[in-house]
């Protein structure tokens, strides 16, 4: 069970920190900005997504270091007054963690912290020695070395002898240990392995599912060709086509739904450029529909489309409709990650890579 207090004297600062960081993330979608995915946020912070999910999970005490807390405050544009409290919680959580570990491993005087099997084997050997000594004294028996099998403790103890051929009760007790303790150790190991597999495979109530959600919805495509956008598409394909159509002067609604009106506008665009008007945007239509993005771009809808695709490709970018220095930096970061020329210009290769970096195809 997760320890939510510090030495039983009040709420653990790590739990309060996790709730505060989670609130920053959930509240970041405001003023027209979209909430960043955990995948893109982790990349921005330079940490892996599983670690970030643990920091943002109120079900557990967060151990986010102060550096990460300060970066999250800046990236998520959290309230200024929250930073001092968040840093104090991070330092308090870091100071509370060692106390719990010391309590967990504290040992009574005279005992060392080792594996459970080793401590049990040591106790068993001592018991066997005591029994053997007692039996030898009572029966006047001889002594000799008793050696445990491979992997268990080896002790030099008296070997009592009763009647001929009978080593005595003390030795019979010891004979069972070389088999029992390796078997117990193997059984414990198997239990840990299968328990871990069960924990991973079966979702538990309250477990943070942000990592799973991100893997399903943000999985980038591995293709390099122009994707096919057609009637029935929703979300990123539809929104991108609609924004680019508006950049070319077509009055379509940007509702992320590739419906009849969008398909009809695509047909008109294709006819005007000498293409077969089939209402689908593929390898022949995309190169004509995209707009090169740089500081001289006059079509705000085209800039918005690039900013939207960058944000959903894991590079947090504000949708302003203007080619800002921030947009240029985001484009360069994306180009570098895809081994493209780092120019900060949204050219044809960059557009194609952006489209292939989006999530899976979505239909109505």
The string of pLDDT tens digits covering residues 212-256 is: 333 333 334 446 799 999 999 999 999 999 999 999 999 999 999
Give the whole-angstrom CA distance, residue 329 versus residue 98: 41
> For the chain, give me the number of helices (H) and strands (E)?
15, 0
**DSSP code, position 216:** H
Which residue shows structure tokens 């010891």? 174
Cβ neighbors of 91 (< 8 A, separation 6 or more) are 66
Residue 363: helix, strand or coil by DSSP? strand
Instruction: Output the pLDDT for position 153.
Output: 41
Report how far Cα 69 is from the mean position of its chain's Cα atoms.
17
Which residue shows structure tokens 């920190």? 17
Token duo for residue 315:
């590079």
Given a cut of 90, whether residue 310 has pLDDT beyond it is yes
The string of pLDDT tens digits covering residues 79-117 is: 888 889 888 888 888 876 544 444 444 444 444 444 444
Kind plus residue range of the DSSP H or E element containing 306 = helix 300-312
- Reported as a pLDDT band with limits 50, 70 and 90, residue 343 is very high
Give the whole-angstrom CA distance, residue 153 versus residue 149: 8
Give the whole-angstrom CA distance, residue 89 versus residue 87: 5
Residue 76: helix, strand or coil by DSSP? coil
Among the listed residues 25, 12, 4, the one whose alpha carbon sits nearest the alpha carbon of residue 82: 25
Given a cut of 70, whether residue 266 has pLDDT beyond it is yes
Among the listed residues 174, 115, 119, 112, the one whose alpha carbon sits nearest the alpha carbon of residue 149: 174
């Amino acid at each position: 069970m997760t320890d939510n207090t510090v030495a039983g004297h009040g709420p653990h600062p790590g739990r309060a920190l996790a709730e505060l960081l989670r609130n920053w993330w959930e509240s970041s979608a405001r003023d027209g900005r979209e909430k960043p995915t955990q995948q893109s946020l982790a990349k921005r912070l330079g940490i892996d997504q599983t670690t970030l999910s643990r920091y943002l999970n109120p079900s557990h005490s967060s151990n986010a270091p102060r550096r990460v807390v300060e970066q999250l405050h800046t990236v998520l544009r959290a309230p200024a007054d929250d930073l001092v409290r968040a840093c104090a919680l991070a330092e308090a959580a870091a100071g509370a963690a060692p106390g719990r570990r010391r309590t967990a491993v504290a040992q009574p005087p005279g005992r060392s912290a080792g594996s459970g099997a080793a401590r049990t084997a040591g106790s068993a050997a001592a018991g066997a020695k005591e029994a053997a000594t007692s039996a030898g004294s009572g029966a006047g028996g001889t002594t000799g070395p008793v050696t445990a099998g491979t992997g268990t403790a080896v002790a030099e103890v008296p070997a009592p002898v009763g009647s001929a051929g009978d080593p005595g009760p003390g030795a019979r007790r010891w004979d069972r240990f070389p088999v029992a303790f390796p078997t117990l150790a193997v059984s414990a190991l198997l239990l840990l392995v299968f328990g871990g597999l069960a924990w991973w495979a079966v979702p538990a109530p309250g477990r943070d599912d942000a990592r799973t959600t991100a893997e399903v919805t943000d999985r980038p495509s591995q293709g390099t060709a122009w994707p096919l956008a057609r009637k029935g598409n929703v979300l990123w394909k539809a929104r991108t086509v609609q924004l680019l159509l508006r950049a070319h002067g077509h009055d379509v609604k940007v509702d992320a739904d590739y419906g009849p009106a969008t398909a009809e506008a695509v047909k008109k665009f294709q006819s005007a450029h000498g293409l077969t008007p089939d209402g689908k945007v593929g390898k022949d239509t995309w190169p004509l529909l995209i707009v090169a993005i740089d500081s001289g771009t006059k079509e705000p809808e085209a800039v918005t489309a690039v900013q939207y695709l960058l944000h959903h490709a894991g590079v947090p970018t504000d949708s302003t409709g203007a080619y800002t220095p921030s947009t240029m930096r985001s484009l360069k970061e994306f180009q570098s990650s895809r081994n493209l020329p780092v120019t900060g210009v949204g050219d044809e290769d960059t557009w194609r890579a952006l489209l292939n970096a989006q999530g899976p195809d979505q239909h109505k």
